[in-house]
Structure 1
Amino acid sequence: MPWLAALRHTGRAGLRLERAIGDPVRAVRGAAAVALVIFPVLALFGPAQATSAAMGAFIAGTATFQRSFRPRPSLALAAGAGLGVSTFLGYLAVGVPGLFPVLLAAWCFAAGLAWALGPTAGVVAANTVTVMLVVVQLPVSVPTAAGHAALCALGGGVQALVITLFPVKNWSAQRAALADAYAELADYARRLRHDPHATIDPAPLMTARHAATLTPWQARRRPAELSGLRSMAERIRPTLAAIADPELGAAAEGPERDRARELLDGAAQLLDALARAIRTGQPLVYPTTAPAALAAPGRVLRGPALRAARRLTTLLGRATGTLDPSTGESTLEVPLPGVDGVLRRPGLARMVPVAVRSARRQLRTGSPVLHHAVRLSGVVTAAYLLARLTGLHHSYWAAMTAAMVIRPDFGQTYSRGVARVAGTVVGVALATGVVLLADPGDRLSCGLAVLCIGGAYLTLRTGYALATTCISAYVVFLLSIGSGNAVETGTERILMTLLGGAVALLGYALFPTWETARLPERTAEWIAAVGRYSGAVLAGYGDPAGRDPRAVRAALLDLREARAAFLQARERAEAEPVRHGAHSPQLSRKQLGRVREALGHLSRISLLMEAHLPPRQAEPVHGAAQFGRLLTESTAAAGAAVLTGTPVDFRPVRLAQQEWEAAETPATDPELALTHRSLTDQQDVVRAGSRLLVGALADLERALRRPRG
């Protein structure tokens, strides 16, 4: 995409407003917490201290609105603690000539590394930079600096206390994530009725897993109905595909196919009902036709399709029993990593060493998080020093704007830059006009600031431009307490916003992190992950007694992460002003589409084979483990070939599959065939699956083939 087109696209994205608002009750609660801090501090200590306390409460409240499955009080406390430390160090550094820019650069570098923990940590860390710049204006003594830092932390503590005392829709994020997973399964079942080769979007299942990872505090308070349902959703997914598949499930035509469609329709209805019950917390309402559709799966189905259908009805019965205990079904007991079957998320006290280890892993050449940290540090410090040369009193707005605009990728940085400038200009102009015309006193200014905070919380989902308008007006009202000329102050803030935005956008252009250049790496990781998953499944057929369920599960999770990373990189690359092929080796957009289809086919086949994994007491399928190892090695070599630009060759896998199938001769004696009936079924599944895997590898090989010339 050319530069002008990319800038136009990202600019429109930044100014786009969505028809969505936040929860009004939560917005009022967050604004009320700020009011509980700002008015008493203003009355007791004065405007400067009230500013520090209000900033702490506002940013801590903003942290609780981020996309996170941690307890909201802990997010507020963590944000308040970070704000307190940054404010204290900033106040001390301002008193030493030349020290503050050094501290600012170091703090911004650390804030950039915080993205290693995720977007929520990165956004909160960036906010600590802005608070440091806003509240640190004049040199003060150490006791005064400690007082301002304590007030910032107090704001976070009050937010946490208010959230604890007045909870609003607790566990709603976890419920929504789990309900989305079941809704995706229902949609998948409906699509399988018409397209037996349909694929599922694993993103809702990945999100549900993140939501099910609990802190010790959450593990003690989780609603009973949220326990066990996610693991059942994971096991329902392959059974749906196994029933619908014409090669490894029901026949392509005839009564078996009709019965499979009935089962899938009934499952879709029941999964939708489960999703509604999980999302709302209301009792499960059974669809009128679903129980009849799911009854007696063995009436028509035979073989692998029958086994998958029985497994599906069993899992659906246990899932409904979890939400409706009157059915008499017990919840499914599935061992999960962690103590007492709970996926563990470290609490606040244990997050410090985790954060240090995560940041240390990013200190390597080529890490995008390290690139972002260096870029954030350089851009914010440059904006601060350039603004200081102007001699304007509100020069800190330039660095503050730069800190809020810079993000790890091109699209977000440039869209936020446009939205930040537009929102700041509008917000500052409106708030300055109100201050100039109405001349509100300290208390009324604080009241208007609280009102703007509520508006910012309410419009966080509407669009960054509108939320920035509210935030800018809030800062103007807050800093107007005891300030001088309103018009001059507003003009300076707008000029510094333009300067900071320009420095941020120019800094990213000079030191970019292009996702387009990372597409070959993401493609290679996805190819290798698919091979590991397929190899783990085949190993389960080769040695049922020694099969480790965690190996298949771990390979599946790695596959999902690799797929998500590829799709995210491809989406970001589409908005970048970098042509496919500008970085060697590179794949064209058409090739990437074909690779995605081939890898999706490979994943689906492996998923079908996982659905038919034999029990531990079953006989091993000779040669399955060896073929799985060869498949894993070949896909790893294919990933390396993508990175080096060399041809991909899966001929050894094709030859091995042909030799393996030729060596497998089915039993002809009727008594022997009856004795080893289950083994024959397993061999049929593996034989058909291996043929499909080889066919999908051929599609992948063609997709990766470099054009001649």
Structure 2
Amino acid sequence: MSWFRALKDTTRSGLTVERKRLEPLIALRGAAGLAIVVAVSLTLFGPAVAAGSAFGAFQAAIATFQRSWRPRPELALASGASLGISTFLGYLTGSHLVLFLPLLAVWTFLAGLSWAAGPTIGIIASSNVAMMLVTITLPTTIGEAAGHAAMMVFGGLVQATLVILFPVRRWGAHRDALADALAAEADYARRLRHDPVAEFDPAPLMLARNAAALTPRQARTRPAQLHGTRGLAERIRPVLASLADPAVGVPAEGPERDRVRELLAAAGSILDAAARAIRHGTPVDLPSGAIAAFRTPDTGAILSGPAQRAATRLGSLLRDVVETAGGVPEREPAPWKRVTTGAGLRDRLSPSRRGPDRPAPPDRPARPLSRPTLLQLVPVAVRAIRREARPGSPILRHATRVSTVAVAGYLIGNALPFGHGYWAPMSAVMVMRPDFSQTYSRAVARFGGTLVGVALATAVVQLAHPGTGLSATLAVLCAGLMYLLMRTGQLAAQACVAAYVVFLLGMGGQTWDQTVPERVVLTLVGGLLAMLAYALYPAWETPRLRTRLADWLVALGAYAAVVVDHYAHPAGKACPDVREALLKARDAHIAWQDAAARARTEPVRHRGLSNAAADDAAHALHHLGRVAMLMEAHLPERDATPVPAAAALADALRAATRDGARAIRERRVPGWKPVREALDAWDGEGVPDRVVRRGAGMLVETLEELSDALDTVAPPMTLKPAEKPDGPQHP
């Protein structure tokens, strides 16, 4: 992508206002907390301290809006306390440039490194630096600075108290994450009716897994609807794929396929009903047609073998999902009348109650994942930062960029004849992110929003000439509007922030003509510094795409190998090593998706991996993971007959995918000769189950598809003659 097109796309992204679901009650709560802090500060300390201490409550409310699974009061307290510490340290050195600049550089560098611990911590740390640059100009004595910092901590405490006293959808984000996962699987079931090998994006399942990690207090108080449903959703996906895939299920056409399509449509309806119940905290209302599809005994007469087992397993899992989504605790019996009306739940969703079609006992709910408390998070964050403090790390490059720009912006702002030079580094710190597209789009949005917000606020000031009380009221209204529109895009949020700052500083006695012109110019200077810094010292994702692809291949190879090895050593359905390998493969998949999305917006030419080749390679790896998932859905029971040749194939898969990943990093086409030889040896011993043999063959086919995809890369990838893979080769 050229620079012109990249700048055009990022500008359009920054100026876009999206239609999002607004949350007025949460915005009102944040504005109320800010109003309380401003009123108390005006009463006790006067306008100057109130103008600065308001930033504590303002920033604490913003922290509660972040997409984090931690309790909102913890976020508000952490934001207020950290901002108070930053402000007090900044004031101690603010009057001495030789002391303040090193502090600013170190503080900003640490804030940049904090992105390694997660975006929420990174945003809070960056905002603390930006707010510190503003607030240190307001107090005049150490005592006032200490009181000023204490009021910022008080602002965080007020916001945390309001969150506790007036909870608004306390578990709303967790409910939405789990409901989105079930809704994604419902959509997947419907797509499988028309495309039996449809791809599935694991992002909703990974998001639900992140949401399921709870602190000890959260684990004791979470709603019953959030118990165990995620683990059931994880097990439904491979069953859906196994039921639909013609390679291991039923033929592509005929009465069996029609029956499978009917079951998939019914599964989609049931999953959607469960998702709605979890999202809104209401009982499950199942469509009668979907229940009838699983209740009819025709399934056992039409389907047989693996397809029948998958249909029976799907009915059992859907039954358990509906029981859990109905809000019934695990220790109590689950009377179906608590969810809907009619016969018992097992009778309504089970294909049959007799003979081999009888469903398996309900799955035990997954235990909640542990999330560290705030104090336990400190060593976790330190370890994450140490991992990123290495040459070539994007986080380290971001920390270097943002600290350099902050110091340079502060010096430039002080050198310009405007006053209030801190606005230049503040703007730069607020817009800079570890990736290119966010940095540039936020810079454009901040400047555009500043123009709009300053123009509107200036018009109000000129017409109304507000005093201290009216300025404080207008500042609170602008903050509340920003909370309301925060998720619609950066342009609207930055416009509200600009107006908020004008009214807030006006409350402190600064007139509009002292703030407006310099704010516009210095905001432009800060944005240009941020954009120039990324252009001169970038952290492009495009050159790292081959490494991301290789990591994904290794993770998928390990997952497939573990699954295949269990056919040689049957251990039943519950296999922790399979689960661990699957999660690593999903993490690598998400890392590849994020990297590919960022690379498409970068003004960098590809280096041996074009967009077309990347898409084809990703498609092949999608199918590799799908085949391994199909084989996982049919793992043998403990008393099944072992397949000794599967162990050799598993070892070959591990070794070949590691060698293939090395070849991808070195811009060579991987070869799969050891895997094909292991599969040929397996054929010589005979395979008792066609699902096993067909799945193993599909694994090799997808690996060869990967080689074909990479063989189209320009410039041509080199390959030794002995490693030349079979199949068509494209120059």
Choose which of 700, 704, 708 in structure 2 pairs with 1:702: 708
User: Does the residue aligned with 1:475 lie in a helix, a strand or coil?
Assistant: helix
Residue 571 of structure 2 is matched in structure 1 by 545
User: Once the two structures are superposed, what CA deviation does each residue of 1:115-156 show, in whole Å capped at 9, x if it has no partner?
Assistant: 112111111111101110110116744333222111111111
Residue 449 of structure 2 is matched in structure 1 by 423
Kindly report which structure 2 residues correspond to 1:37-52, keeping only aligned pairs within 5 A, or say none: 37-52=37-52
The AA in structure 1 aligned to 2:472 is: C
Choose which of 608, 616, 639 in structure 1 pairs with 2:661: 639
Kindly report which structure 2 residues correspond to 1:380-395, keeping only aligned pairs within 5 A, or say none: 380-395=406-421
Choose which of 320, 337, 341 in structure 1 pairs with 2:322: 320
CA contact (8 A) 1:95 1:140 kept: no
The AA in structure 1 aligned to 2:47 is: P
Q: Is residue 2:254 matched to residue 1:254?
A: yes
The AA in structure 1 aligned to 2:663 is: A
CA contact (8 A) 1:181 1:204 kept: yes
Residue 693 of structure 1 is matched in structure 2 by 699
Residue 603 of structure 1 is matched in structure 2 by 625
User: Does the residue aligned with 1:429 lie in a helix, a strand or coil?
Assistant: helix
The AA in structure 2 aligned to 1:183 is: A
Q: What is the CA distance between 1:622 and its match in structure 2? A: 1.4
CA contact (8 A) 1:605 1:693 kept: yes
> What is the rounded CA distance, in whole Å, between the counterparts of 1:370 and 1:41 in structure 2?
39
> What is the rounded CA distance, in whole Å, between the counterparts of 1:15 and 1:90 in structure 2?
33
The AA in structure 2 aligned to 1:98 is: V
Deviating more after overlay: 292-301 vs 209-218 = 292-301
Deviating more after overlay: 198-207 vs 643-652 = 643-652
The AA in structure 1 aligned to 2:398 is: H
Residue 671 of structure 1 is matched in structure 2 by none
User: Does the residue aligned with 2:487 lie in a helix, a strand or coil?
Assistant: coil
Q: What is the CA distance between 1:20 and its match in structure 2? A: 2.3
The AA in structure 2 aligned to 1:43 is: T
User: Does the residue aligned with 1:460 lie in a helix, a strand or coil?
Assistant: helix
The AA in structure 2 aligned to 1:322 is: T
> What is the rounded CA distance, in whole Å, between the counterparts of 2:571 and 2:10 in structure 1?
55
> What is the rounded CA distance, in whole Å, between the counterparts of 1:38 and 1:484 in structure 2?
17
The AA in structure 1 aligned to 2:183 is: A
Kindly report which structure 2 residues correspond to 1:159-174, keeping only aligned pairs within 5 A, or say none: 159-174=159-174
User: Does the residue aligned with 2:473 lie in a helix, a strand or coil?
Assistant: helix
User: Does the residue aligned with 1:541 lie in a helix, a strand or coil?
Assistant: helix
CA contact (8 A) 2:227 2:365 kept: no
Note closer, same or farther for the CA distance 1:138–1:442 as it changes in structure 2 (3 Å cut).
closer
Residue 307 of structure 1 is matched in structure 2 by 309
Note closer, same or farther for the CA distance 1:335–1:627 as it changes in structure 2 (3 Å cut).
farther
Residue 557 of structure 2 is matched in structure 1 by 531
Residue 611 of structure 2 is matched in structure 1 by 589
Q: What is the CA distance between 1:52 and its match in structure 2? A: 2.7
Q: What is the CA distance between 1:575 and its match in structure 2? A: 1.1
User: Once the two structures are superposed, what CA deviation does each residue of 1:167-211 show, in whole Å capped at 9, x if it has no partner?
Assistant: 011111111111111111111111111111112111111111111
CA contact (8 A) 1:94 1:139 kept: no
> What is the rounded CA distance, in whole Å, between the counterparts of 2:3 and 2:201 in structure 1?
32
> What is the rounded CA distance, in whole Å, between the counterparts of 1:134 and 1:201 in structure 2?
43
Residue 727 of structure 2 is matched in structure 1 by none
Q: What is the CA distance between 1:333 and its match in structure 2? A: 4.8
Residue 677 of structure 1 is matched in structure 2 by none
Choose which of 494, 500, 504 in structure 2 pairs with 1:474: 500
User: Does the residue aligned with 2:154 lie in a helix, a strand or coil?
Assistant: helix
Residue 674 of structure 1 is matched in structure 2 by none
> What is the rounded CA distance, in whole Å, between the counterparts of 1:484 and 1:27 in structure 2?
27
> What is the rounded CA distance, in whole Å, between the counterparts of 1:270 and 1:97 in structure 2?
65
User: Does the residue aligned with 1:521 lie in a helix, a strand or coil?
Assistant: helix
Residue 465 of structure 2 is matched in structure 1 by 439
Residue 669 of structure 1 is matched in structure 2 by none
> What is the rounded CA distance, in whole Å, between the counterparts of 1:641 and 1:120 in structure 2?
37
Aligned length: 685
> What is the rounded CA distance, in whole Å, between the counterparts of 2:385 and 2:345 in structure 1?
46
The AA in structure 2 aligned to 1:310 is: T
CA contact (8 A) 1:80 1:157 kept: yes
> What is the rounded CA distance, in whole Å, between the counterparts of 1:609 and 1:103 in structure 2?
57
User: Does the residue aligned with 2:214 lie in a helix, a strand or coil?
Assistant: coil
> What is the rounded CA distance, in whole Å, between the counterparts of 1:228 and 1:144 in structure 2?
52
Kindly report which structure 2 residues correspond to 1:342-357, keeping only aligned pairs within 5 A, or say none: 342-357=368-383
Note closer, same or farther for the CA distance 1:329–1:357 as it changes in structure 2 (3 Å cut).
farther
Q: Is residue 2:8 matched to residue 1:30?
A: no
User: Once the two structures are superposed, what CA deviation does each residue of 1:579-600 show, in whole Å capped at 9, x if it has no partner?
Assistant: 112xxxx211111111011111
Residue 672 of structure 1 is matched in structure 2 by none
Residue 400 of structure 1 is matched in structure 2 by 426
TM-score (norm 1): 0.94
Choose which of 358, 365, 373 in structure 1 pairs with 2:391: 365
Residue 618 of structure 1 is matched in structure 2 by 640
Residue 673 of structure 2 is matched in structure 1 by 651
> What is the rounded CA distance, in whole Å, between the counterparts of 1:33 and 1:313 in structure 2?
49
Residue 14 of structure 1 is matched in structure 2 by 14
Q: What is the CA distance between 1:97 and its match in structure 2? A: 3.8
The AA in structure 1 aligned to 2:700 is: V
Q: What is the CA distance between 1:635 and its match in structure 2? A: 0.9
CA contact (8 A) 1:64 1:72 kept: yes
TM-score (norm 2): 0.91
The AA in structure 2 aligned to 1:186 is: A
User: Does the residue aligned with 1:251 lie in a helix, a strand or coil?
Assistant: coil
Q: What is the CA distance between 1:463 and its match in structure 2? A: 1.3
Residue 565 of structure 1 is matched in structure 2 by 591
Kindly report which structure 2 residues correspond to 1:108-147, keeping only aligned pairs within 5 A, or say none: 108-137=108-137, 140-147=140-147
Q: What is the CA distance between 1:617 and its match in structure 2? A: 2.6
CA contact (8 A) 1:265 1:293 kept: no
CA contact (8 A) 1:22 1:458 kept: yes
Question: What are structure 1's unaligned runs of at least 5 residues?
Answer: 667-679
Deviating more after overlay: 291-300 vs 325-334 = 325-334
> What is the rounded CA distance, in whole Å, between the counterparts of 1:704 and 1:206 in structure 2?
28
Q: What is the CA distance between 1:556 and its match in structure 2? A: 1.0
Residue 482 of structure 2 is matched in structure 1 by 456
> What is the rounded CA distance, in whole Å, between the counterparts of 2:140 and 2:4 in structure 1?
47
User: Once the two structures are superposed, what CA deviation does each residue of 1:36-56 show, in whole Å capped at 9, x if it has no partner?
Assistant: 111111111112221232100
User: Does the residue aligned with 1:272 lie in a helix, a strand or coil?
Assistant: helix
User: Once the two structures are superposed, what CA deviation does each residue of 1:42-76 show, in whole Å capped at 9, x if it has no partner?
Assistant: 11111222123210000110011111111111111
> What is the rounded CA distance, in whole Å, between the counterparts of 2:29 and 2:86 in structure 1?
26
The AA in structure 1 aligned to 2:167 is: P
Residue 675 of structure 1 is matched in structure 2 by none
> What is the rounded CA distance, in whole Å, between the counterparts of 1:170 and 1:548 in structure 2?
33
> What is the rounded CA distance, in whole Å, between the counterparts of 1:547 and 1:30 in structure 2?
48
Residue 198 of structure 1 is matched in structure 2 by 198
Q: What is the CA distance between 1:438 and its match in structure 2? A: 2.0
> What is the rounded CA distance, in whole Å, between the counterparts of 1:645 and 1:18 in structure 2?
40
> What is the rounded CA distance, in whole Å, between the counterparts of 1:482 and 1:124 in structure 2?
25
Q: What is the CA distance between 1:481 and its match in structure 2? A: 2.2
User: Once the two structures are superposed, what CA deviation does each residue of 1:466-523 show, in whole Å capped at 9, x if it has no partner?
Assistant: 1100011101111112434422321111111111111111111111111111111111
The AA in structure 1 aligned to 2:380 is: V
Residue 673 of structure 1 is matched in structure 2 by none
The AA in structure 1 aligned to 2:577 is: A
Q: Is residue 2:517 matched to residue 1:491?
A: yes
The AA in structure 1 aligned to 2:275 is: A
The AA in structure 2 aligned to 1:685 is: V
Q: Is residue 2:265 matched to residue 1:269?
A: no
Residue 66 of structure 2 is matched in structure 1 by 66
CA contact (8 A) 1:63 1:76 kept: yes
Q: What is the CA distance between 1:240 and its match in structure 2? A: 0.6
